[in-house]
Structure 1
Amino acid sequence: MTQTLLITGASTGIGAATARAAAEAGWQVALLARSQDELDSLAGEIGERALALPCDVTDRAALNAAVDRAVDHFGGLDAVFANAGKGVSSPGIEQGVPAEWDEMIQLNVMAVLSTAHATLPHLRKTKGHFVVTGSKAGRDHLKGSVYGATKWFVHGLAGNLAEEMREWGGRCTVISPGMVDTPFFDEPKPDKIQPGDVANAVIFAISQPETAAVREIHIMPTG
């Protein structure tokens, strides 16, 4: 039976690479992001296995509607990759911009919670898998990094969610990369982790047998 993976932040970078890798591995993919043009282009590239669902995942009503559409279209969810996230332009706390923190926390923290809340009832039916993008910044203390603090939340949530899902046969994995060559950065980083490297980790995690729960995959660049 064909399985379905829902991806947030699916239009570029890690999300788009994971959509391609999942489709190649035989999965159906529900693609969520704000950019309709980029999602439509990606879905067209992948073909009938893909469904573009443009929405702002910080808008709970829009997120819930997109999840419902994915379930109606594909018949259910077997895995979710909560990948949407962002940083801030002003590192540090004393010189930071609180309005940027608000926007980042809504996406990096609240949208991850909302994605879990919206999808867990569907994952429970399939004993499914919730995957979330963490970071090396969520494992280390970085001077004044509010972004890092949001990823510490993600890592803590992933562990707690893994224990909750374990009660009904579900699994949760946090993917923890160092620097990745994505549009997150203004300049290309060709010697760092590639989006496809992270995508491979996601596919590995969600492809494990029922007896194995991969709770964290930590990836560092060789460059």
Structure 2
Amino acid sequence: MSRTLFITGASSGIGAATARAAAEAGWRVALAARSADRLDALVREIGGDALALPCDATDADALKAAMARAAETFGGLDAAFANAGMGASAAGAENGDLANWRAMIDVNVWGLVATVHAALPHLRKTKGHMLLTGSRAGRATLKGSVYGATKHFVHGFGENLAEEMREWGGRCTVIAPGMVDTPFFDEAKPQALKAEDVARAVVYALEQPAHVTVGEVYLMPNPEG
């Protein structure tokens, strides 16, 4: 029987690559992002097992409505991937842009917990799987980095969420890549991971048998590869 994965930040980068990889592995995919045009193009590429759900990951009501529509369309949700995120300049704590930080915290922290909050009632019904996009920055100390601090939050929250979900048979996985060559950066990063590398990690965690929990997948580019 087909299973359904809901993805935020699905219009490009890691989200879009995960949608493709999950669909290839037999999952139906519900795709959420602000860019309706990109989502529609991705749905046309993937075919009938994909659903475009344009919404802002920081809008809790819109997320709930999108997940309800996905569950109604596909008969439930088996997994959700809180992947939407943004970065900030590396100006440090003294010289950083407060408006940029506020927007980033809204997406990386509030958007993530809002996605989890909307997903859990559906995942409880299916003993489902919640995935969160963390980062190497969430495991390291980066001088003055507010972005890194948002990813430390993701890692800590992911561990706490795993304990909560375990009580009813659910699973939680943090996907923690190093630098990934995606539109997240203004310039290409040819030595970095590819979005498809991270997508394979997501599918790996999803495809484990029910008695196996993958708490974290930590992947880094290999300069000798």
SS at match of 1:51: strand
SS at match of 2:29: strand
Whether the 8 Å contact between 2:2 and 2:26 is mirrored in structure 1 is yes
The corresponding residue for 1:100 is 100
Whether the 8 Å contact between 1:134 and 1:155 is mirrored in structure 2 is yes
Alignment of 1:131-170 (within 5 A): 131-170=131-170
The corresponding residue for 1:58 is 58
The corresponding residue for 2:196 is 196
Q: C-alpha deviations, 1:33-86, integer Å up to 9, x for none?
A: 000000000000000000000001111111111111111111100001110000
In 2: Cα distance, 1:200 partner to 1:91 partner: 33
In 2: Cα distance, 1:156 partner to 1:91 partner: 25
Find out whether 1:126 has 2:123 as its counterpart: no
The corresponding residue for 1:71 is 71
The corresponding residue for 1:7 is 7
Q: Which runs of 4+ in 1 moved over 4 A?
A: none
Alignment of 1:181-192 (within 5 A): 181-192=181-192
What amino acid does structure 2 have at the position aligned with 1:49? Answer: D
In 2: Cα distance, 1:121 partner to 1:127 partner: 10
In 2: Cα distance, 1:64 partner to 1:168 partner: 21
Whether the 8 Å contact between 1:78 and 1:128 is mirrored in structure 2 is yes
Whether the 8 Å contact between 1:90 and 1:97 is mirrored in structure 2 is no
Whether the 8 Å contact between 1:134 and 1:151 is mirrored in structure 2 is yes
Whether the 8 Å contact between 1:91 and 1:146 is mirrored in structure 2 is no
What amino acid does structure 2 have at the position aligned with 1:183? Answer: P
CA drift of 1:90 comes to 4.7
Aligned residue pair count: 223
The corresponding residue for 1:217 is 217
Whether the 8 Å contact between 2:90 and 2:145 is mirrored in structure 1 is no
Can you give the 5+ residue segments of structure 1 that lack an aligned partner in the other structure? none
Can you give the 5+ residue segments of structure 2 that lack an aligned partner in the other structure? none
Structure 1 vs Structure 2 CA RMSD: 0.7
In 2: Cα distance, 1:138 partner to 1:177 partner: 10
CA drift of 1:188 comes to 1.0
TM-score normalized by the length of structure 1:
0.99
Find out whether 1:44 has 2:51 as its counterpart: no
CA drift of 1:89 comes to 2.7
Whether the 8 Å contact between 2:131 and 2:173 is mirrored in structure 1 is yes
Q: C-alpha deviations, 1:165-207, integer Å up to 9, x for none?
A: 0000000000110000000111111221000000000000011
The corresponding residue for 1:114 is 114
The corresponding residue for 2:81 is 81
Which has the higher mean CA deviation after the structures are superposed, 38-47 or 97-106?
A: 97-106
TM-score normalized by the length of structure 2:
0.98
Q: C-alpha deviations, 1:154-173, integer Å up to 9, x for none?
A: 00000000000000000000
What amino acid does structure 1 have at the position aligned with 2:79? Answer: A
CA drift of 1:88 comes to 1.1
Whether the 8 Å contact between 1:7 and 1:31 is mirrored in structure 2 is yes
SS at match of 1:142: coil
In 2: Cα distance, 1:91 partner to 1:221 partner: 25
